[in-house]
Amino acid sequence: MQITKSAKQFSTVNGQIDDPVIIQQITQFKGKDPIKGNTIDVYWLFDDGGLTLLIPFILKMRSKFAKCHLRVFFLSNDIENLEEETKNMSLLLKKFRIDFTDVTILSDAKKKPSIDTSKKFEAMVKIFK
């Protein structure tokens, strides 16, 4: 979900937002219709007992999100054994009967971002500062 306007730019009528795009973004999770083809991304940064995986798993158990794909991203410092790390994470997810689409290792997550990436990030969040 990407919100394209800052809070100061909302036009309102009698205190209510009248922009249909913003209203759709805010209300997209209401209703009973299943969401199909979307993806739930999980970034498992620390082994904190699995709460990070439990919440998306519960979401997938709901009929509304059952058709969504689940992708799991996790950190690994063991660059030499990336394939084995991926296999171990896949086995762990299967052991807990968590249906997933993809498991991806983030091996460079502890590296500092490049200057170009930092500038892009600053430009994106500038309207919120």
| pLDDT tens-digit readout, 8-25 | 455 666 677 778 888 877
Q: Are 103 and 89 in contact (CB under 8 A)?
A: yes
DSSP single-letter state for residue 7: G
Is the model's pTM score more than 0.75?
A: no
DSSP three-state, residue 12: strand
Q: In 47-81, which ranges are continuous DSSP H helix?
A: 51-61
Domain residue limits, the chain = 1-29, 52-129
CA 73 to chain centre: 10
Note the pLDDT tens digit of each residue in 32-89: 777 777 888 888 877 666 667 777 777 777 777 888 888 888 888 777 888 898 898 8
